[in-house]
Amino acid sequence: MAFSPDEVDRYARQLVLSEIGGPGQQKLARARVLIVGAGGVGGPAALYLAAAGVGTLGLIDADTVAVSNLQRQILFSTADVDRPKVEAGAERLTALNPHVRVETHAEPLTADNAAALIAGHDVVLDGTDDFHTRFAVNAACVAAGVPLVSGALGRWSGQVGVFAGRPCYQCLVPESPPDAETCARVGVVGALAGVIGAMAALETIKLITGAGAPLTGRLLLYDGLAATARTVRVAADPQCPACRGVSGES
């Protein structure tokens, strides 16, 4: 695949990086990334992945844009209020980079449709905030052998993890916490969503290009109030219903 003059110009700052260069840019152009949840994490991730030249971005979100989203969901503008998020998001991403193809799914991801939605993608990026969806995404990724980049946040802190086979996301979170906190209830600083979304996009770019050491089997915890970060290894759960019997990092 030859790049047009516009693409050579557009990706100039990546093409000079030894870890990406022409071959890495080709990998990005051929890549198909599925973003589950076009919200606080998925939105900034989608913007950076589109800007980087990921060839195909799938966007899954059943919601419409609300005014209260705009404090952190920078994929949308005030004029997008009441529009389907995937429609407004696709328009914004294509305006940012017309070389990117955006496939929209204005439906919730469930255990029933997860396998079909994930099929054919190289990486899945999950930025949703409910555990039923997260477990369904994780199980389908494990079954399909597709790496999962997971981002989550609340209040002033967030986390990013990459899961490829075993250990999986459900090894980290065995079941839905009884007092699961949502951003609607506990609040979140918008800039933190940007930090976590950008980190998730960066891990996705690393997975596609093979640059550096991805967070596979590890979890990066960022404390925005203290301005500290630490990375912990995720242990495989011998009883994990999602990845028991699957090979992986450990």
Give contact residues for Zn ion (rule: CB under 5 A).
168, 170-171, 240, 242-243
Q: How far is the CB of 120 from Zn ion (least distance, A)?
A: 23
Q: How far is the CB of 246 from Zn ion (least distance, A)?
A: 8
CA distance 120 to 237: 28
Residue 5 in tokens: 């003059």
Q: How far is the CB of 238 from Zn ion (least distance, A)?
A: 9
Nearer to Zn ion, 109 or 168 (CB): 168
Tell me which residue of 14, 76, 57, 55 sits closest to 211, measured CA to CA. 14
Q: Is the dihedral of CA 168, 208, 44, 192 positive or negative?
A: positive
Nearer to Zn ion, 168 or 208 (CB): 168
Nearer to Zn ion, 174 or 212 (CB): 174
Q: How far is the CB of 174 from Zn ion (least distance, A)?
A: 8
Which residues is 159 bridged to in the sheet? 152, 221
Nearer to Zn ion, 78 or 239 (CB): 239
Enumerate residues 6+ apart whose C-beta is below 8 A from 109: 36, 60, 117, 128, 133, 136, 137
| End-to-end CA separation in angstroms for the chain | 36
Which residues is 103 bridged to in the sheet? 58
Nearer to Zn ion, 101 or 244 (CB): 244
CA distance 164 to 208: 13
Q: How far is the CB of 237 from Zn ion (least distance, A)?
A: 6
Residue 50 in tokens: 């589109």
CA distance 22 to 98: 19
Nearer to Zn ion, 171 or 207 (CB): 171
Polymer length in residues for the chain: 250
Q: How far is the CB of 236 from Zn ion (least distance, A)?
A: 6
